[in-house]
Structure 1
Amino acid sequence: MKNIINKSKIAALLLIMVGFTSCDAILDQEEIDFGKGPVLTSFAKPVNELNVIKTVANTPIQYEFDITYKGGKGIALDKDVTVVIATSPKSKAKEGVEFSLPVKSFTIPAGSKTAKASMTILTGGLVPFDFKDIVLEIKESSQSIAELNTFTLTVKALGAESLAGEYEVIGGDYWRLGVNNGWGALGGTRIIEAISATTYKHAGFFGLFEGFFYFTVDAANNVTVLKTNPVTGETLLQGTAPFLTCNNDSSSLTNVKCGTSNKVTRTNDRRDIIYLSYGYNTPGSGPREFYEVLKRKK
């Protein structure tokens, strides 16, 4: 009986050893590397936009973008990766009219993961406020191509008088329930986006807080802060609080400079200055008021 048990144990042990040996053989034959995967080429940033101020000179603009790859072991390859790009059939902007793509073949050199590419924006072919998408695609690659293989650049052609651009906060005050809390450190950046020739979006911030609002500028450079979205018609809120504007709620904005702000001072060097007063009313608490002075960056 004891011999039978010992023989059974030996047989089971042999089977386990054979199994391990077989697995090792399979791994050796197929050279499996669980850290490997396909290398996928794509554009580093699939979507972006570009403001173009139309001038009489119509000087072409060079716009650069990156081509890259991901996958494998997550490290740069030890060989070149070649990529060919082209204009996508989805592009609303026409190659040769609104832009040109003089070079279409690029090489990501060994040891690197990106290559710099560029296109030329043909400003003479742009029409102010006729915003168009340039869509490029990866057509060929010495590695695999990512499923998202396009780059879309929305070109926003703007008139010479447009206020769109990056601005520096050069002055400001914040009143909470009638108490001036100041603005803190000045010098922050604000983005003004053009919706039309006279309508703009103050993007990213509402005063010192996250948010956005819209305003219009008339021929006399007077600013009107809007309480509704000019695109959708929806009432705008800061969180759950209704907007306060000098045009509609001056009795609630008693600390900001409604009488002397909400205007634009234009300069010959395009360092335009925008003066804004606005706020919001927290239900059950009271008004928050903002006075903001923005100067366009060069």
Structure 2
Amino acid sequence: MKTIKKISILFLSLITFLACNDDNLNVDNPDGNAVEGGLLDVKNTSINYVVGNPGPYSASIRVYQGAVKSTSIRVAKTFYSGDFVSNTVDTFKTIAISDTNQNSFVNYDFSFPEMVEGLTGANGSPLSATDTDYQIGDYWKFDYYVTNSNGEHLNYASTKATISTRFAGTYRVVESAYWNSGGFNGDWNGDQFVIESIDANIYKHNGLAFWSDNTYYFTVDSGTGAITILGKDLDDADVLLNTSPIMTCEGDYTFESLTCINQATANDVTGEDVLEFTTGYFRGVGATREFYEKMVKIVD
């Protein structure tokens, strides 16, 4: 009986190990596994293409070797915009794998001119060479075809390079303060918020401190990083926070407790961009609600 229990525990442990291993790799690989070889673990499944920054951008892939030896990777590209799907360029990049004796990392770079080259748009003409002609959410899909001792096979995981703007993403708050009628009333450090691209210039801040159902809009000066919080929404109506008029540093209402700090700081090394906001809503002199937050972009 003890022997059966030991075998059962070992079997369940093996299943758990394999399941965790597969989850960590985030792939469904028809060519093999980490032990047998033939596996590509794509580290950059999603890349934001920032309008105004033609690159180069980089993608990284881990190559697992085993009895199955991978020798090269062919990268194909296709463009997507809404329901439109372009032609596919079968050989966008070719990556040689020089070391087949052990697991390794390979990288490749690409720029905007390379992304559009050879692809045809919905009107039958070549894709535009001007990145401002694209809509937020348009994307290029890079598929990976691995050549190994079993032939060439399509890898399960791919990479999407999506038209975005620099500061879009999910952020974690690292500093914050809420002032109510001149008194400090708490913080929301550690909470996460989504900064959404509306177009090439306007961002949407989803949530306000403790209230997830409030939103406001802002722009970022491309030269200085200065943030301007907008008093109007996308329909040109006055922005209300918790049913009261928004307070902005450029607006008509005076902050009574906080000093205005509205700044975006790009981190080109790690991608952990920093945003700082000062905003609030006006309920009368001596009854303002004021908010400061400093947030750091979460990098996958």
* TM-score of the superposed pair, with normalisation by structure 1: 0.50
Alignment of structure 1 residues 207-226 onto 2, 5 Å: 207-210=209-212, 211-218=214-221, 219-226=223-230
Match of 2:295 in 1: 294
Question: Number of residue pairs matched?
Answer: 182
Deviation at 1:249, TM superposition (A): 3.6
Deviation at 1:212, TM superposition (A): 0.9
Which letter maps to 2:273? D
Which letter maps to 1:56? G
Distance 2:288 2:253 in 1: 11
Residues 16-72 of structure 1 show CA distances to partners (whole Å, capped at 9, x for unaligned) of: xxxxxxxxxxxxxxxxxxxxxxxxxxxxxxxxx98444652355799xxxxxxxxxx
Residues 71-108 of structure 1 show CA distances to partners (whole Å, capped at 9, x for unaligned) of: xxxxxxxxxxxxxxxx99971242426xx9xxxxxxxx
Match of 2:115 in 1: 125
Distance 1:256 1:195 in 2: 28
Percentage identity across aligned positions?
25
Contact 1:164 1:192 in 2 (8 A): yes
Q: CA RMSD in A?
A: 4.0
C-alpha distance 254-95 of structure 1, shift in aligned 2 (>3 A)? farther
Q: Does 1:248 align with 2:251?
A: yes
Contact 2:179 2:289 in 1 (8 A): yes
Match of 2:282 in 1: 281
Contact 2:220 2:226 in 1 (8 A): yes
Contact 2:256 2:288 in 1 (8 A): no
Larger radius of gyration between Structure 1 and Structure 2:
1
Contact 1:91 1:133 in 2 (8 A): no
Unpaired stretches in structure 1, ≥5 consecutive residues:
1-48, 63-86, 101-121, 135-153
**Match for residue 163 of structure 2 among 157, 162, 169:** 157
Deviation at 1:236, TM superposition (A): 1.5
Alignment of structure 1 residues 62-141 onto 2, 5 Å: 91-96=83-88, 124-125=114-115, 128=131, 130-131=134-135
Contact 1:241 1:283 in 2 (8 A): no
Residues 189-224 of structure 1 show CA distances to partners (whole Å, capped at 9, x for unaligned) of: 111112233321112x12321211111111211111
Which letter maps to 1:240? T
Contact 1:92 1:133 in 2 (8 A): no
C-alpha distance 280-61 of structure 1, shift in aligned 2 (>3 A)? farther
Contact 1:128 1:158 in 2 (8 A): no
* TM-score of the superposed pair, with normalisation by structure 2: 0.50
Distance 1:158 1:222 in 2: 19
Match of 1:262 in 2: 262
Unpaired stretches in structure 2, ≥5 consecutive residues:
1-45, 62-78, 93-110, 117-129, 140-159
